[in-house]
Structure 1
Amino acid sequence: MSHFDIFIGEVTGTALLILLGGGVVAGVVLKRSKAHNAGWVAISLGWGFAVMVGAYLSSGVSGAHLNPAVTLGLAIEGGTKWSDVPLYIGSQMLGAMIGALLVWVVYMGQFKAHLTDPEILAAQPEKEGLVDQKAAPAAGPVLGVFSTGPEVRNALQNALTEIVATFVLVISILTQGLNNEGDGLGPLGVLITAFLVVGIGLSLGGPTGYAINPARDLGPRIVHALLPLPNKGGSDWGYAWIPVVAPLIGGALAGGYYNWVFA
């Protein structure tokens, strides 16, 4: 596959992944949305469908990595050239930022209504007072639409959660028979991976919101920091390293484990 194939496939696939995944979170979180308070099951299902759509679209073009942790795991396993890794990751980051921007465009009115609602604004200081006073104020009231955050702020536990969840994702992808030509998963593999993401969300997503994808978290977090949202609060940069570093560790461990046990 050409460098252009990798670029266009990963940008487009990741943008759709974030548009639909971030979109379901926006629908559940934002007060003036018809899906408001639909709950964690809706979010987990929405992210699974988001992965399915993005992966089906880009699988035949770029291999549908859509995730730097997957790219790293594949490079260690041997299915992706190390020289292509920067292009994959850069394309995924760009796609994630485009997808996050589109979420804002689609829900622009709901963001404005939510962030100017007196009830929402009045609840923020009280909510922040329930957790670590030094760290929590950095997370604004709609940051969860764009990026993940922990329910219990403990760096070691949060990192271990993301490492384990990402390991499950990447080892499951690797054992589905990706080949060394980089053609990606077939239609059945894409469907299995989509259900896998739903399962990870339901089983392991509670502690941190299961980023399991550095581009999915960092790209939209940057967009949140740049968007002209009223009363948006901070982007929680103190936590931002965990959903970047931990999934990369999980992906690397999965690639190494695959070579040790399955290769």
Structure 2
Amino acid sequence: MSSSDIFIGETIGTAVLILLGGGVCAAVTLKASKARNAGWIAIAFGWGFAVMTAVYISTPLSGAHLNPAVTVALAIKNSDWSDVPYYLGGQLLGAMIGAVLVWLAYYGQFHAHLTDKEIVGGPGAQATSAKAVEAQEQGAGPVLGIFSTGPEIRNIAQNLATEIIGTIVLILAVLTQGLNNQGNGLGPLGGLITAFVVVAVGLSLGGPTGYAINPARDLGPRIVHALLPLPNKGGSDWSYAWIPVVGPLIGAAIAAGIYNAAF
């Protein structure tokens, strides 16, 4: 694979991943969406199918890493870091493009949601819940969860551990499957299996933090949230933003070490 193929494949694949994954979050969250309040199961399966679709689209070009944690783990496993910058650059750019596409697809719903006084507050409005008040105090706006993750209980040690554990499960599943392209990406069956692993992680381990398990998936859309002209969007919770970046990278390194030692 050439460096241009890697960059283009990762950009396209990660954009599709975030478009569909962020899209299901928007569908479940936003006012005037037909899927509003569909719940966590819809989100978990939506992200799983997003991974599957993105993997099959990008595998011919880049091997479908779509996640800096996967890239780092494979670099450790193969002792080859030469292509890592192209993967990481494409993943971050693709994540930002995907987040912008979610905004465009749900433009009217974003406007309706963020101008509703019951949701964003206003004269005579009351906070919808204690959790909403806490989130606002922490700098997390009312639609930030569509773009990036956040904890239900803000505890640095627990939040970091949750992201590390979830990522270890994901990376071990990736590394122990049949990898094509000389160990640089998922094969056809691996894409399907990984999609269900993402669903499993979401259902079993996603409750505490929203399971980023992918630094680009969280950081790219968080940057877009900060830049988009959304009314009453609130903060982007930058004080938390390092956890879904550092946690998955630590988890990837641990998983790669386990793989090299045990397999």
Task: Give the TM-score of the pair, scaled to structure 2.
Answer: 0.94
Aligned AA (1:71): T
Q: How does 1:32-111 map to 2 (within 5 A)?
A: 32-78=32-78, 81-111=80-110
Give the SS at the match of 1:239.
coil
Shift in alpha-carbon separation, 1:26–1:133, aligned structure 2, 3 A: closer
Give the SS at the match of 2:65.
coil
Native 8 Å contact 1:128 1:137 kept in 2: no
Aligned AA (1:16): V
Distance (Å, rounded) in 1 between the aligned partners of 2:181 and 2:187: 14
- Is 1:210 the counterpart of 2:200 in the alignment? no
Distance (Å, rounded) in 2 between the aligned partners of 1:122 and 1:31: 15
Native 8 Å contact 1:62 1:182 kept in 2: no
Distance (Å, rounded) in 2 between the aligned partners of 1:256 and 1:204: 22
Distance (Å, rounded) in 2 between the aligned partners of 1:150 and 1:232: 18
Distance (Å, rounded) in 2 between the aligned partners of 1:221 and 1:136: 18
Report what 2:246 is aligned to: 245
Native 8 Å contact 1:128 1:136 kept in 2: no
Q: Deviations over 1:137-187 (max 9, x none)?
A: 400000000000000010100000000000000011000032572452221
Q: How does 1:175-214 map to 2 (within 5 A)?
A: 175-178=176-179, 181-182=182-183, 184-214=185-215
Native 8 Å contact 1:59 1:183 kept in 2: no
Native 8 Å contact 1:132 1:153 kept in 2: no
**5+ unaligned residues in a row in structure 1: which ranges?**
none
Native 8 Å contact 2:163 2:244 kept in 1: yes
Distance (Å, rounded) in 1 between the aligned partners of 2:200 and 2:165: 13
Distance (Å, rounded) in 1 between the aligned partners of 2:208 and 2:199: 15
Report what 2:15 is aligned to: 15
Q: How does 1:100-249 map to 2 (within 5 A)?
A: 100-122=99-121, 126=127, 129-130=130-131, 136-178=137-179, 181-182=182-183, 184-249=185-250
Distance (Å, rounded) in 1 between the aligned partners of 2:145 and 2:63: 29
Shift in alpha-carbon separation, 1:184–1:145, aligned structure 2, 3 A: same
Distance (Å, rounded) in 1 between the aligned partners of 2:29 and 2:132: 19
Native 8 Å contact 2:63 2:180 kept in 1: no
Distance (Å, rounded) in 1 between the aligned partners of 2:126 and 2:64: 41
Q: Deviations over 1:69-126 (max 9, x none)?
A: 0000000110x73021111111100000000000000000000000001111239973
**What is the root-mean-square deviation of aligned Cα atoms in Å?**
1.9
Q: How does 1:247-262 map to 2 (within 5 A)?
A: 247-262=248-263
Distance (Å, rounded) in 2 between the aligned partners of 1:118 and 1:135: 15
**5+ unaligned residues in a row in structure 2: which ranges?**
none
Deviates more, 1:135-144 or 1:159-168: 135-144
Aligned AA (1:261): A
Give the SS at the match of 1:17.
helix
Distance (Å, rounded) in 2 between the aligned partners of 1:113 and 1:237: 25
Distance (Å, rounded) in 1 between the aligned partners of 2:137 and 2:205: 22
Aligned AA (2:81): W
Shift in alpha-carbon separation, 1:165–1:122, aligned structure 2, 3 A: same
Distance (Å, rounded) in 1 between the aligned partners of 2:43 and 2:135: 28
Shift in alpha-carbon separation, 1:190–1:174, aligned structure 2, 3 A: same
Give the % identical residues: 69
